[in-house]
């Protein structure tokens, strides 16, 4: 047996702000929101976590790996160093157009010493680094 990558948890000061950015960036939606966390997932994911939906999710997870959900958990401390784990996104259109779209959503370009590479390093509204890879377009 193996495991499935089911969710990614990111610490942040303002979960609603960061979740909103990533919903717009990835075409996700908020599937659960509480005082503790905001969880986002693919548009086809059901809202909330009832026992029935948990059972359906487990069944789905046993099949082909779906896109993971992302959970934003509030923490009191600020980010102080470069992330040890980051998100990579692959645009469906051109890389340049996606970078500009993400900037309009609140991202900024980042220089983390990457040099001349095929991807673009960016930061979300709370300075979490992520990369925009080459386009998936044919």
Domains of the chain, residue spans: 7-74, 87-132
* CATH 3.40.50.10300 is the classification of domain 7-74: no
Cβ atoms of residues 95 and 77 within 8 Å: no
End-to-end CA distance of the chain: 35
Whether residue 2 is predicted with pLDDT greater than 80 in this model: the reply is no
Detail the DSSP E strand segments found in 15-138. 28-33, 38-42, 69-74, 87-89, 108-109, 120-123, 129-132
| pTM (two decimals) | 0.78
Which tens digit of pLDDT belongs to each residue from 10-47?
A: 999 999 999 999 999 999 999 889 888 999 988 877 77
Give CA torsion, residues 8, 43, 104, 38, to 10 deg. -40
Q: If DSSP codes are grouped into helix, strand and coil, which group holds residue 40?
A: strand
């Amino acid at each position: 047996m193996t495991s499935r990558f089911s969710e990614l948890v990111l610490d942040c000061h303002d979960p609603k702000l960061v979740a909103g950015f990533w919903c717009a960036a990835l075409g996700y939606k908020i599937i659960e929101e509480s005082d503790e966390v905001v969880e986002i997932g693919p548009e086809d994911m059901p809202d909330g976590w009832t026992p029935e939906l948990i059972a359906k999710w487990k069944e789905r997870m046993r099949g082909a790996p779906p896109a993971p959900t992302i959970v934003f958990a509030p923490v009191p401390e600020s980010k102080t160093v470069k992330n040890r784990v980051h998100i990579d996104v692959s645009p469906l259109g051109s890389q340049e157009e996606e970078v500009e779209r993400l900037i309009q959503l609140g991202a900024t370009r980042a220089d983390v010493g990457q040099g001349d590479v095929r991807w673009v390093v960016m930061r979300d509204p709370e300075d979490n680094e992520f990369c925009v890879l080459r386009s998936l377009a044919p």
